[in-house]
Structure 1
Amino acid sequence: AGQCGSSDSDRLITLNVSTLGLNETLQGVQLEKRVTQIAVVDQPTAVVARETFITAPRVSVLECNGNIVSSAVARIAVAIKANAGGGKLSGTLSVPLDGGVASFGDITIDLQGSGYTLEFSYVGNAQVSPVVSQAFSIEAPVSRIDIVSGPGGTTTVASQPFASQPVLHLKSIDGSDVDSSALITASILQNPGMLQAHDPDNVLLMGTKIVRAVRGTVTFTDLAISKASVGQGLAQEGYSLYFLLNDFGSETATFTITP
């Protein structure tokens, strides 16, 4: 029988065959590496509810001597093992191996709790025991967006970056700061530029419109609006911006854009 090799090269075995007094040695029989275990390479760590892990949980498949089986053709499935908060795991829950490694970059858990674990299972021909991650916590989710600064109440020239760029703080339902790394999307909500009879379209929000929070603070740096609202004979001249996270958001006070 084969034994664990010490390198990634194909292992060789030697068979001694004795038939009618003739001894022959067969060498160079190639054995496919066999997956015997799963190892967690990057453990899940504390994260805000409904947000992806800052470092994606990652597992590898190994042969008996601990080397990665880069040629393995299989999938790894993930599920909650210890459900500390009664949460639901969402995202891509079954990932194909790539070079012997599976990464779960979009999974989230929706409910707060301390002591969650994840279980990773091999989905393939080999019989491999699942592996369980270290325990981690899910923190309170972002429930509101506070606008600390922004263009509300100001006037800016069309296509020029706002002098006061939006800065947002992400808060929990009780008003506490949330150490979030969520992506926030900015868009135009109140849009007087669309009321221009001669040119109702082509109002652009310019700049970087999707920004990731850093420890719960979101800082936009280059937003601008392409079309003036002042001096156009409009009954309504005030623009406003809307900042969206999941299914809720926050609106700025109105502001104007000059030619």
Structure 2
Amino acid sequence: MDAEKLAKLKELRSQTEISIKLCQEALEKNNYDLRLAQQWLQKEAKVFRKDQGENEQKQKLGVVSIKEKQSKIVAFILTYTDSSIPSDSEELGKVVEKLENILLDNFSIFYKKDDWKLPEEAQKELDKLSQRIKDKGIKLEKCRFFQQKENEHLGIYVHQKKIGALISIQGGDEDIAHELALQVVANKPQFLSLESIPQDIKEKAKQKFSIQIQEKNPEKKPEVIQKITQDNLNKYLIKTYACFLEQSDFRDPENKIKDYLTENQAQVKEFYLLTV
């Protein structure tokens, strides 16, 4: 099974929380079209997405875009509210392409700035689209700008226009960077490593574990309590906040992403995940 099919299998499994076997059957019967596979599961297997009710199913609406041009990258989500518009519609595609070019043309103005405003030209494109399809909820979300450095390789992967990732690595090569972008999409990490989780999150979790362990082990010495707390804390943080380096390689579940990086003499400098 190739990488794209594996990613679709994992995504369908995440959406429905049913067996891998049934997800694979649904995909195979529908030429690995996620939307058709979901419909097949709903009709034939009576399965619904885990975040949907049985009476009315709501789909997240939006298009993920990651565009690179001369080492400059823009990533964003174009969201809308009209469920009759497919994410692969030609009209949406044309607007997304125009927005990509406008934003990249203004890259030097926006890069490393948090308080930038959408260019008037881009806003006009959104307004025109809104009027044409009669959807006032169209907007740009999670827009960020990146600059590829000379000694780094960039990996970009967008799946079904619904989820995408870009990742920058030192060492390795472009193929490894692309593979890691695919792994980000499949694993959906929140942080790169345990060390990158914000300190306030760690402290709150540590206090909680410390109290629980002291109550269960009142006879143990403080240094023992501290060690048990730290061990439990690390496991909890890695699992709850999905640290990329500690996640399993979906091609080889026995290995972790950090093992793959070591084998290929590569280091992740930055990654960004976009999900509709």
> Same fold, TM exceeding 0.5?
no
* TM-score of the aligned structures, taking structure 1 as reference length: 0.20
Q: Which has the larger share of helix? A: 2
Q: Which has the larger share of strand? A: 1
Higher relative contact order (CA 8 A, sep 6+): 2
